[in-house]
Structure 1
Amino acid sequence: MSIPARDTSSDNLIPVQHLRPGDHAFVSYGNDEVRWEVVTAFVRLGLARGEKVLVLPCPGVPEEEVLARIDFPSRSTALARERGQLVMSSMREVIRPDAEFTATRQIGRLRTETDRATAEGYTGLRAFIDMGWVRALGADVGAMAHREIHADALFTGRPYTEICAYDRRRFDRALVSAMERAHPRALLERLGSLRSVRDADDALRFIGEADAANQAAFSRSLEIALARTAPARQLTVDLTRLHFLSVGCATSLLALVSGAVGHERVEVRCDRGQARMLRRLGAEAVPRLTATEAVRPW
């Protein structure tokens, strides 16, 4: 039986749907099709929450293609563009009239744009920035990395949310890894995906979507965790970073915990909706299961 190693690098990993104002997030992609998933969700969620949305796509990608991608499968973003809630831009435009990138100029402009968005009646500003601009502007990679690490003033206590997207084919692997660690949040690359990781305290954490397509993987991860923790006779399962928990996965969880006769206690950390679902499915009839409602740390 293969036992997953502890994954401390996942401490900041969340699905894009969990981003909140003040979040500074990293995502990477290595496929031209995959890269549209996160930006499309990010744009649509921001519009639904009454935020102004700024999109800086990879230079060289025609604006018509960007708009077609984020509009698919409907034209629901067209009205947002017409009223100015959704804006297509570029890093060259952000730093104008400067010709060269400086962190001071970029941060200052984004602060101004955030204030302008709230003055216009929006709840805040969110920006998706494809980091392909670095090569397009011939910017110094060190200056870019310094900005990424020292941009707290843009986010702390302010209604600004940002995703920095790195194409793994364009950047050195070590730099991409460093930037992932440097950002307070990191995002799952694919919508609809599920990650299961061991926390430092040996808890099993699920991240993403535990839906019908991922039910087999969900159950298998739980079976492995129960087998691993049998000598300790207890296990903690954290569901709070799930965007979606299906009835099927919740039912599998209850069945596996009910059958884990070697365990005295299985604590399931969950949000209010998940706790309600587990109760309705009969969690209270599983003596060794304790459902603990937990508030996300952000």
Structure 2
Amino acid sequence: MPNSTTMLEFLLMGFSDVWELRALHTISFSLMYLVTLMGNILIVTVTTLDRSLHTPMYFFLRNLSILDVCYTSVTVPNSCINALLGSRTISKAGCVAQVFLVVFFVYVELLLLTIMARDRYVAICQPLHYPVIMSPRVCVQMTLASILSGLAYAGVHTGNTFRLSFCRSNVVHQFFCDIPSLLRLSCSDTSSSEMMVVASGLGIGGGCFIYIIKSYIHIFSTVLKFPNGADRTKAFSTCVPHILVVSVFLSSGFYVYLRPSTISATIQDMVFSVFYSIIPPLFNPIIYSLRTEQIKFAIKKIMKRMSYSGRKCRG
């Protein structure tokens, strides 16, 4: 067997070869993508235009929305086009780009969710120190640190994956290029790559999850001391959905990325990938922003301002 085989392109798997199911895949993914774009762009617009929302919490929400738009744009449009046209080909350069961007966005999203949990913890449990701990300068520094470390993290994992030789097949059993699917195609020794994925995934993902849960435990213990039952209900209704989204995001990601490459890929891998690549960006605007009274009020205020400007122009 030759030491290496140069792969110039890969073939992505679809959810089905039946035209009707491919059309259903295209329609459902397109609708989810459009809703994701509309929700997140709305959050970015509102939190940018309304000065009352220029706070640390909405600063991170705005960054999360921008990230979610980019994240879904890496995989979903390409998957819809492939399903519609019946084409599964992706160039090696395109595959490299997808792996790098997916790892980068997953990493930064996880860090932003962790920072947002810290922001809520400080706001509720240490309100007097909030202006100092979460100052604008600190918020910008944490965001830049997340982005820069994400670039390094994605670069290491992408380089470590594509240094391998691929000679078994060029069929990626996934609707986008990801590391676990590519490791199954390699004829090189992938043990070190798998160990790196598992160690970094458990270390960073597990560490962030523990920190988030710990923060919300402190938040819940503080909220239970509130004399007003309505305040407790509001806090729980806000925090519980956050925990659910993070749990779905991490559990589905762990299932796909931490499974040994010796286990054959199944349709379940593709389904679980939807839960960490499409579902969080879709629901984040609803859970984190659109349910809050401040966002609703800001949207109404901006709409009234636009309506007034339109009438003034026509007049």
TM-score by length of 1: 0.21
Q: Which has the higher contact order (CA 8 A, sep 6+)?
A: 2
Larger strand percent: 1
Higher normalized helix content (fraction of residues): 2
